[in-house]
């Protein structure tokens, strides 16, 4: 495995949002998050902690309209950062899977760092909001993340009646699966984990 640090720093500005993000794949779960959306900050903090990522996010968006643009664009930039930090993907495990209980909720996530972006989403929330955040935005976040990272991501809700617990279980399951997928495989000897010799669409 190349000893080069697996990090990325990305800045993205549009007429709707301005985002600066720093990602390290070999961190200790440390984070500094400020999106202006309290619950999204909470979820990104959990993503960093359980994914053992170093993550800094500073986002300014048109929150006076709603939270859609900021949530989606943070997902876009996080996906771009993951793709850049992984480089040619040599020596990684590639696949990751996790099932996470959060009280009565149970969430499952499976990841293939395949170069073929896809999101399969099977999650339903019992109410429209968690705090001030629309629960429909979680799917938008993960779709933007998967499409821009170039990963296949399956997220399945196995149980749950509390919207907060469902969302938190989902983020923690994705974090754990991502941690496994990006982890260096000591038996891979720096090889690209594909019979094609490349990981791309």
Q: Where are the domains of the chain?
A: 7-182
CATH, range 7-182: 3.30.230.40
Classify the C-alpha dihedral 23-142-68-17 as positive or negative.
Answer: positive
What are the tens digits of pLDDT across the range 95-115?
A: 999 999 999 999 999 999 999
Q: Is the pLDDT of residue 75 over 80?
A: yes
- 3-state SS assignment for residue 8: strand
- Phi/psi for 34 (5° steps) reads -150, 95
The pairing of beta strand 54-61 with beta strand 17-24: antiparallel
Cross-strand bridge partners of residue 8: 23
SS (H, E, C) 86-150: HCCCCCECCEEEEEEEECCEEEEEEEECCCCCEEEEECCCCCCEECCEECCHHHHHHHHHHHHHC
Q: Is the pLDDT of residue 21 over 80?
A: yes
For residue 12, is it left (φ>0), alpha (ψ between -120 and 50) or beta?
beta
The Cβ of residue 161 has, within 10 Å, a number of other Cβ atoms equal to 11
Question: What's the start-to-end Cα distance of the chain, in Å?
Answer: 23
Q: Is the pLDDT of residue 18 over 90?
A: yes
Q: Is the pLDDT of residue 131 over 60?
A: yes
83-99 mean pLDDT: 95
The better pLDDT of the pair 112, 2 is held by 112
Band of residue 4 on the pLDDT scale cut at 50, 70, 90? confident
């Amino acid at each position: 495995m190349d000893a080069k640090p697996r990090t990325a720093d990305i800045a993205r500005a549009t007429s709707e949002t301005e985002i600066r993000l720093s990602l390290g794949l070999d961190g200790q779960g440390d984070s500094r998050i400020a999106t202006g959306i309290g619950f999204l900050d909470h979820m990104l903090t959990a993503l960093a902690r359980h994914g053992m990522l170093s993550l800094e996010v500073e986002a300014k968006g048109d929150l006076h309209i709603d939270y859609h643009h900021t949530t989606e664009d943070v997902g876009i930039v996080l996906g771009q950062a993951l793709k850049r930090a992984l480089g040619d993907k040599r020596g990684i495990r590639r696949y990751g899977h996790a099932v996470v209980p959060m009280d009565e909720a149970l969430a499952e996530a499976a990841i293939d760092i395949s170069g073929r972006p896809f999101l399969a989403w099977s999650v339903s929330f019992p109410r429209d909001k968690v705090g001030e955040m629309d629960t429909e935005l979680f799917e938008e976040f993960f779709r933007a993340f998967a499409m821009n990272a170039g990963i296949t991501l399956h997220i399945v809700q196995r149980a749950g009646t509390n919207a907060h617990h469902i969302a938190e279980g989902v983020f923690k399951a994705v974090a754990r699966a991502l941690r496994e997928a990006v982890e260096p495989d000591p038996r891979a000897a720096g090889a690209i984990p594909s019979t094609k010799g490349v990981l791309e669409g």
